[in-house]
Amino acid sequence: MNQGEAPAEKPPGRLKDYLQLTKPSLNIMVTFSSVVCYLMAPNVVAFDWTMIALLFVGGFLVVGSANTINMVVEKDTDAVMKRTAKRPIASGRMSATEGWAFAIITGFAGVGILAYFFNFLSAGIAAFSLFLYAFVYTPLKKVNAISVFVGAFPGALPCLIGWVAGTDRFMPFDTIAVGERTYSNVGGWILFAIQFLWQFPHFWAIAWVAHRDYSSAGFKLLPSEKGPTKFTALQTIIYSLVLIPVCALPYYTGMTGTTSLIIVTLTNAFLVFQCVRLYRENDAKAARRVMFSSYLHLPVVLLALLADKL
């Protein structure tokens, strides 16, 4: 190496590459919501750390499988985007075949854990979510912005996976017996609705910030064909406003108490405020505020609901 020359960047190790395939940061956030919703189930009355760990591992493997398939399918587009060019398959450090093998193993392992330790309903929802994300949402991203709506379903299904893992009930008006009392199963669908709606301001803010990268790769992710515009900002305001009454439903259905209602209302109001700022300022800086606000929003809402569970 010549004097003054920067040392060559050391490539990540194999284990680190496999971990990167799962998109760990995103994966942990999604699996976290599944665990919280499992604990929100009325018949889950104690913290069984073994079951929590099994649910987390099973969910992590399923989501990791879906993310790996996403990287295999999008390897060519990942290679042309600065933010994704160093991913294992896009960079050529790992073959697509190896990626498929990893996805198949983790997918079957994750679904198997849910089926064996919890129930076949939660495992079936997980398998459906994996399929929807990997084979419907992923290719649709280059076709039409409706992909964001489609992708919001597998993005919110972890809430139902967690709830169903705890209750073994899927339909919203099924009943759950706990001792001499019965509860409605609608709670899982309320939690699903919260995470479903949350994804629109969250993802559109990300797509706004990374619009140049996404558009150069042929992705159509914003609701306006003209790219980042006030129309997109208006959509984030609408969805964040709808979140306010939906996040209040756990209180009005008897799942949680007054404290969480206050916390989630204030948290939602802050997200609405940032979306309004995006509409007024109409720039990437404001979009970045919405993005970081949404990252804060979901864990605060879920943890507030869990802490105030009745």
Residue in this structure with the two tokens 């558009």, named with its chain if needed: 215
> Where along the chain do its domains lie?
12-184, 194-310
Q: Is the pLDDT of residue 2 over 70?
A: no
Residues 181-202 have pLDDT tens digits of 888 899 999 999 999 999 999 9
Q: How far apart are CA 167 and CA 171, in angstroms?
A: 11
Collapsed DSSP state (helix, strand, coil) of residue 176: strand
pLDDT band with cut points at 50, 70 and 90 for residue 6: very low
Distance (Å) of CA 263 to CA 38, 82, 260, 291, 307 = 21, 38, 5, 20, 11
At 42 the pLDDT is 94
Q: What mean pLDDT do residues 77-100 have?
A: 90
Q: What mean pLDDT do residues 156-174 have?
A: 96
Q: Is the pLDDT of residue 35 over 80?
A: yes
Q: What mean pLDDT do residues 242-251 have?
A: 97
Q: How far apart are CA 243 and CA 118, in angstroms?
A: 30
Q: Is the pLDDT of residue 218 over 70?
A: yes
Sorted by sequence, the CB contacts under 8 Å of residue 74 that are 6+ apart come out as 84, 90, 138
Q: Identify the DSSP state of 182.
A: E
Predicted structure pTM score: 0.92
pLDDT band with cut points at 50, 70 and 90 for residue 11: low
At 81 the pLDDT is 85
At 12 the pLDDT is 64
Q: Where are the beta strands (DSSP E) in 67-138?
A: none
Q: What mean pLDDT do residues 4-20 have?
A: 68
Residue in this structure with the two tokens 């983790």, named with its chain if needed: 106
Q: How far apart are CA 1 and CA 144, in angstroms?
A: 49
**Domain 12-184 in CATH: superfamily?**
UbiA prenyltransferase (1.10.357.140)
